[in-house]
Amino acid sequence: MMPRERTERLHIGCHLSSAKGFLHMGEEAHAIGADTFAFFTRNPRGGNAKPLDAVDAEALRDYMKRHHFAPIVAHAPYTLNLCSDREEIRDFARRTMADDLRRMLYLPGNYYNFHPGSHVKQGAETGIRLIAESLRELLSGLPEGGAPPPVTILLETMAGKGSEVGRSFEEIAEILDRAGADSRLGVCLDTCHVYDAGYDIAGDLDGVLREFDRVIGIGRLKALHVNDSRNPMGSRKDRHEKIGEGSLGLETFISIVRHPLLRHLPMILETPNELDGYRKEIQLLRECAGEEAEGAERSGF
């Protein structure tokens, strides 16, 4: 597949280990053809974080500037739940996120992504209220202003397993509205999650984006998790697959990486891969994005 000349580079990367520090992640991303990446702020299944190295954070900032990186996406631990039915769990999530956000101020202009949480049979309305209340509290401890803001908090779209909150654009929109429609809040759209939640991005990508724009506002969309799905649309299963090997299929991702409303956003692979597998997927999607650069301009609303 021979790419034609394109005017804008696709911003794509994958999750990387932070074990060897910030600069190492930047170098590792660049080595596999990425110009963005994601990392867990601490153990994804726990709450411990290693001491922050401000010099290392500055080295990454300089490296990203030299190599023209797009914003990177820090990811909160999976264990955090801002809408738990237990106050001590909600308090732990708030304290952990507040610490993460203070750390992100050493990497200004980037994103902090989290799963909204599970309402644990309290009902989605209660879950939405609890998440929004916590977000207002967290935002009160962050600097205001700036373009871009020092850190932008992203709510991730969810597949709808069990009592997950964020399974629909309406739930995400209500959280954002109740949190004050703050400019420091945005959305990370996960392709596997929204498909498993019932949004037909394979058959009608433009229609799904129109719905996103109507309910949330396309300006709130700041990043993508780019994953195929092992399950059919509407399954609410959340099982990621390698690009082109699941029910979404390669054609869906060709449409995504060429879409004028999406191709400028940081795209993070969370497919079941090791580093070399991610290298190959990054190369594949870059080729797909450049195959017909002018054709991308004909799609959209």
Of the residues 45, 88, 274, 298, only one is catalytic, namely 45
Of the residues 27, 211, 270, 287, only one is catalytic, namely 270
Active site residue 68: no
Active site residue 264: no
Of the residues 62, 66, 78, 91, only one is catalytic, namely 78
Of the residues 35, 164, 228, 238, only one is catalytic, namely 238
Of the residues 193, 220, 230, 263, only one is catalytic, namely 193
Active site residue 193: yes
Active site residue 24: no
Active site residue 270: yes
Whole-angstrom distance, CA of residue 291 vs CA of residue 26: 27
Active site residue 78: yes
**Residue 10 phi, psi dihedral angles, 5° rounding:** -70, 135
Of the residues 35, 100, 156, 281, only one is catalytic, namely 156
Whole-angstrom distance, CA of residue 219 vs CA of residue 186: 8
Active site residue 156: yes
**Residue 8 phi, psi dihedral angles, 5° rounding:** -140, 130
Active site residue 75: yes
Of the residues 75, 90, 119, 220, only one is catalytic, namely 75
Of the residues 103, 119, 167, 225, only one is catalytic, namely 225
Closest to 223 (Cα-Cα) out of 287, 148, 293: 148
Query: Cα dihedral sign for 192, 193, 197, 203?
Result: negative
Of the residues 164, 171, 190, 228, only one is catalytic, namely 190
Alpha helices per DSSP H over the chain: 22-31, 54-66, 87-104, 124-140, 169-178, 191-197, 205-215, 250-258, 275-290, 293-296
Q: At what angle do helices 275-290 and 250-258 cross, to 10 degrees?
A: 60
Active site residue 115: yes
Whole-angstrom distance, CA of residue 139 vs CA of residue 150: 12
Of the residues 61, 94, 230, 240, only one is catalytic, namely 240
Which positions are annotated as active-site residues? Answer: 45, 75, 78, 115, 156, 190, 193, 225, 238, 240, 270
